[in-house]
């Protein structure tokens, strides 16, 4: 499965802000049982659940940036590093958190880097995972092969007007074309 291949999605799964909090709560409870010392959040969108979980667990949050995008446009075939992992992970039980495990590649890259820097243990977590994600996150709140609509990127400001994210417009068009 190729990342951002929206034609392969089956249906639409909307995550509201309320549902987001419930999913983050579920992940936080599981990560608490793992004895997590700190949270690594994958910027941009992974910072939403990572921040919520870090606050719920009262743990420090360290952001990283690994992305295929530049200014919200997909420009890289593979995720590239923009902001590296903090050396604070050494000797710690670390949760690496993202909003979605699409291919699983971004979570895996960050988890590998956290291990390289000496973490005692790494637990990967995502609000949502597709069945084709490989490797799969250790913890996930929802497994779905639908097109997932997160609350933070549905409406974007373009030329002074709020509108549905253009990428979602295209993806939703593919959903209605195949149904």
Strand 121-129 relative to strand 139-143: parallel, antiparallel, unpaired? parallel
33 within domain boundaries: yes
Q: Is the pLDDT of residue 177 over 60?
A: no
Angle between helices 17-33 and 47-57 (to 10 degrees): 50
Task: Express each pLDDT in 107-143 by its tens digit.
Answer: 999 999 999 999 999 999 999 999 999 999 999 999 9
81 within domain boundaries: yes
Strand 80-83 relative to strand 121-129: parallel, antiparallel, unpaired? unpaired
158 within domain boundaries: no
Number of compact structural domains in the chain? 1
73 against 18, higher pLDDT: 18
Q: What is the DSSP letter of 7?
A: G
pLDDT range class, residue 149, cuts 50, 70, 90: very high
**pLDDT at residue 72, rounded to an integer:** 83
**pLDDT at residue 176, rounded to an integer:** 58
**pLDDT at residue 148, rounded to an integer:** 94
152-164: average pLDDT: 93
Q: How many CB atoms sit inside 10 A of residue 87's CB?
A: 9
Domain with residue 143: its CATH number is 3.40.50.2020
Q: What secondary structure, in 3-state letters, does 140-151 show?
A: EEEECCCEEECH
Q: Which residues of 44-80 are buried (b: 16+ CB within 10 A; e: fewer)?
A: ebbbbbbbbbbebbebebbbbbbbbeeeeeeeeeebe
170 within domain boundaries: no
pLDDT range class, residue 77, cuts 50, 70, 90: confident
pLDDT range class, residue 171, cuts 50, 70, 90: confident
164 within domain boundaries: no
Q: Which helix H or strand E contains 107, and what residues bound it?
A: helix 105-116
**pLDDT at residue 123, rounded to an integer:** 98
**pLDDT at residue 179, rounded to an integer:** 44
179 within domain boundaries: no
How many residues comprise the chain? 179
10 vs 147: CA distance, rounded Å: 7
1-19: average pLDDT: 79
* Domain carrying residue 44: 6-152
pLDDT range class, residue 178, cuts 50, 70, 90: very low
């Amino acid at each position: 499965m190729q990342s951002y291949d929206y034609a392969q999605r089956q249906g639409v799964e909307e995550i509201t802000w309320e549902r987001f909090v419930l999913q983050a709560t579920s992940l936080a409870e599981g990560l608490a049982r793992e004895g997590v010392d700190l949270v690594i959040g994958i910027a941009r969108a992974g910072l939403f659940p990572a921040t919520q979980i870090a606050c719920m667990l009262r743990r420090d949050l360290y952001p990283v940036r690994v992305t295929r995008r530049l200014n919200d446009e997909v420009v890289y075939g593979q995720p590239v590093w923009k902001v590296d992992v903090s050396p604070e992970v050494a000797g710690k039980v670390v949760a690496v958190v993202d909003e979605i495990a699409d291919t699983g590649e971004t979570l895996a890259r960050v988890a590998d880097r956290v291990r390289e820097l000496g973490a005692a243990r790494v637990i990967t977590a995502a609000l949502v995972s597709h069945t084709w994600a490989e490797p799969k996150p250790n913890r996930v709140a929802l497994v779905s092969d639908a097109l997932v609509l997160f609350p933070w990127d549905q409406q974007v400001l373009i030329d002074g007007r709020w509108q549905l994210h253009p990428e979602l417009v295209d993806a939703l068009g593919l959903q209605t074309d195949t149904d």
